[in-house]
A and B are shown apart, each in its own frame.
Chain A
Amino acid sequence: MKKRTFKLIVFLSPEFWWLVFKLPSILSEWISIPNYFFSRLQNIFTEERLVNIGIMRWANLDSGILKILSKFMYNRAMILVDEFFGYLSYFSPRFYFQSGDGSKFSPPGIEPIPLILFPLFVLGIVESVRKKSLKIFLLLILFALIPFILGTRSFAFLWPMAALYIYISSVGVSTLKESYRKTLLIILFTYGVFLGGKLIWTVF
């Protein structure tokens, strides 16, 4: 049941069809992985970020304990903490259920995964924790890590995350009572057809 629901949601997700038609572009993105990686490394401790740290220390305005505290608080290590929280933003549901990445790898004006699945996604997360499906969470961490390390939010690299979000949503659907599930799948199918139509209408 879960697998069938997963497949259904995949087929009803605009992002899936969009990426199918963008396969050559995705491959060319992948070829650029080394460039992304080295560019990302150079962009961690940029001049601008170091200057901003200097500003937050307010060197010319403070003295004594505040000056020492400033050095303890605002430094390169803090940039790494900032990066960690930047990494967490790769899990933001808005990205997958509403906005997409804003590049040619997301369908324009339409959500990558049907929006109405968001509550089911939350239930799916809870159910996955309950069943101790560690694999899902390890994969989530890994799949978000790849684009994060490359410093890009492109769906050319994030599509495995989208696939996992769909899978988790299907887990959420499976937690519903039979009657609710049927109703939801009918609504989802209707909405998915609308999204498909919108995608075709937008492109052509």
Chain B
Amino acid sequence: MDSFLKINEKKLLLLIFLAAFLFRFFMLSQNPVNLSMDEVSIGYSAYSVLKTGRDEWGVRFPLAFESVGDFKPPVNIYLTVVSIAVIGLNEFSVRFPVALLGSITPLIFVLLLKNMKFSRFGYIFAGFWFALLPWHVHFSRGSFEAVTALFFMLLGALCFILCIRKKSFLLFNLSNLFLALSLWSYHAERLFIPALIIALFVIFRKDILFIFSNTKKFFASVLLVTILITPFIYLTFFTQAVKVRALSTSIFREQSLIQELHNGKYRDLGDKIFDNDIYIVSRHWAGKYLNYFDPRFWFWKGMQFTPPQYFDSGLFYAADIILILPGIYFLFTEKDKVKKYLGMFWFFAGPVPASLAMNEQHPLRALTWIPFFGLAVASTLDRVGPKLPKRLPLVLIYMATLVVGIVYFSDIYFRQFPRFFADAWQYGYKDIALTVCKEKNNYDKVIVTDTFGEEAPVNTGIPGMYVLFYCKVDPNDFRLKGAPFDKIKIRRIQWKSDKIITNSLIVGSALDLPRDQIPEKNILKTIYYPDGKPAFVFLNTKGLQLEKGRMGPFED
């Protein structure tokens, strides 16, 4: 162990980066199994900005990108502009920025721990822990904005602590910049970053006073913060960009809560006192908040890679129990007040943004909580590190359990996840997009269903966005001429009427079409999900009209 730590620190950091890079970039384009709706939307918006300086709706360099029923934060999209400019418009370029930031985040975390005065053993191995963390690995691979936000948050916190240590205005301003970027990157950070800033100011209340020592520099910092925040305040209060997301994901949209609320219509005084809406909302929220403290969610069933009745992966490897649980204790009993109070803040505040939104136990929205567990791991390693050479069997058991955990996680992630949830990742849309773009000139009309999966017709997707993305449709053509949707129609399949359109190509989900009633010669291709079930069927309508009478029940 000692000899390992004697290796040059830069080499160890490089090893951490390589481990993180490997876990995040291995088969990046193929897994997750398909670009999600959010990813293609980010990709095409970035492509549009790159080509025209406007998003696909014509807004010039937007600060909030309008998407399907939502507004996307801008940071990921502008980062993707760069990667598309360099690599081109494809799966890899869309996933690259977040995967790269996700690979660098463990390094930033190591530097944060180092500056919080954790031991070398603590911060180096906590860096390795972060690099292999299933919770962070998965979300780094799917172009999730929360990973970008976490990167900037940790960078902001690091600069803040450095600015305190070095009494540097430059670092203070950098901290403001990065924390603001985090706030601009993801929704959960809009709540968490202000709380983190307050916590940092309270913890370092004496040291931070240096910012008042130079009036000019202080006002320059205030000006910088104003510039960074004012557009956000404008978007929040004077546009729909922030409100839409807040309203659409708020716990107030949950039926179980709505049904309980009185909305001011109390039956009597007793009702008003003992069953008041404030108590009902608080209790409802508390349930969601406390749900995040379930050990089963942490170590066994948290990532939702499989349906509830199957084995799943936790946010951490099961082996991490022996690092995290003692770490909570060590952190809470730290003599160093910065570690102790920052740890306590992160422990209680980490899951708050996620708990204010819909859904039980949402690991993506709870990414703000990761640093706490990293602090806990570093604390355990700090305390037990010097004793480890004497406890070799314990180390070997941990390492063996960790290796089994990594193999298990790899199987769940690379084999089970795509088979159980390929439809949720719009598997098949890439093939549909590429095929219809290639074939559209051979038909008078192309109709693509907007439903998918086994839950069709309840599940509705946006195949049109995939067509724009994979066919690299010129954003100006799309915006000004509506191309290519003059010929390609995205809508629900109306079998009775659609099949009589001569020379058309129909792409239906497996449940859209009466498969057993369609002559084999008309079926051009079938796309299957990775679990072997049919996903989409391509058929041409040539000759189907003549089949009248033979088609039985579908003819009425």
Contacts and interface: CB of A to CB of B under 8 A. Distances in A.
B411 A69 contact: yes
A167 interface: no
Contacts of A125: 329
Interface string B308-351: 01110010001000000000110011000000000000011000
A74 B273 contact: no
Given A89-B294, A98-B283, A201 B275 contact: yes
Interface in B269-303: 270, 273-275, 279, 282-283, 286-287, 290-291, 293-296, 299-301
Contact of A58 (B286, B328, B348, B419): B419
A30 interface: no
A120 B279 CA distance: 20
B299 A85 contact: yes
B33 to A, nearest CB: 14
Given A61-B531, A85-B296, A78 B311 contact: yes
B293 A88 contact: no
Given A61-B531, A98-B290, A119-B348, A126 B296 contact: no
B264 interface: no
B283 A66 contact: no
A37 to B, nearest CB: 23
Contacts of A111: 283, 286
Contacts of B301: 85
B553 interface: no
Given A97-B290, A119-B348, A197-B274, A56 B311 contact: yes
A150 interface: no
Contacts of B279: 198
B234 interface: no
B532 interface: yes
Contacts, number: 99
Contacts of A92: 290-291, 293-296
B61 interface: no
Interface of A: 48, 52, 55-56, 58, 60-62, 66, 69-70, 73-74, 78, 81-82, 85-86, 88-89, 91-94, 97-99, 109-111, 115, 118-119, 122-123, 125-126, 129-130, 194, 197-198, 201-202
Given A115-B283, A126-B329, A126-B333, A48 B290 contact: no
B501 to A, nearest CB: 37
Given A85-B299, A198-B274, 5 more contacts: A56-B310, A56-B416, A85-B318, A89-B296, A97-B290
A98 B287 contact: yes
27 contacts: A48-B309, A52-B309, A52-B310, A69-B411, A70-B411, A78-B311, A85-B295, A85-B300, A85-B314, A88-B295, A92-B290, A92-B293, A92-B294, A92-B296, A94-B291, A97-B290, A98-B283, A98-B290, A110-B283, A122-B332, A125-B329, A194-B274, A197-B273, A198-B274, A198-B275, A201-B270, A202-B274
B415 interface: yes
B408 interface: yes
A86 to B, nearest CB: 7
A105 B438 CA distance: 64
> Nearest 3 A-B pairs (CB), nearest first?
A94-B290, A85-B300, A89-B296
Given A58-B415, A111-B283, A126-B329, A93 B293 contact: yes
B228 to A, nearest CB: 33
A24 B549 CA distance: 71
B311 A82 contact: yes
Contact of B296 (A55, A56, A88, A115): A88
Given A98-B286, A115-B286, A119-B348, A66 B310 contact: no
Contacts of B411: 69-70, 73
A92 B300 CA distance: 14
Nearest to A89: B296
B466 to A, nearest CB: 26
A48 B293 CA distance: 29
A34 B534 CA distance: 48
Contacts of A91: 295
A39 to B, nearest CB: 19
Contacts of A194: 274
Nearest to A111: B283
B361 to A, nearest CB: 10
Given A56-B311, A82-B300, A130 B333 contact: yes
A123 B332 contact: yes
Nearest to A118: B290
A66 B274 contact: no
Contacts of A115: 282-283, 286
A106 to B, nearest CB: 13
Nearest to A201: B274
Nearest to A129: B329
A60 B311 contact: no
Contacts of A70: 411
A97 B286 contact: yes
Contacts of B309: 48, 52
Contacts of A74: 311
Contacts of A109: 275
Interface string B373-408: 000000000000000000000000000000000011
Contact of A126 (B295, B328, B408): B328
B443 to A, nearest CB: 34
A198 B296 CA distance: 32
Most buried by B among A56, A78, A85: A85
Contact of A86 (B282, B293, B296, B348): B296
A78 B300 CA distance: 11
Nearest to A98: B287
A129 B287 CA distance: 26
Nearest to A72: B407
B295 A89 contact: yes
A86 B309 CA distance: 12
A43 to B, nearest CB: 14
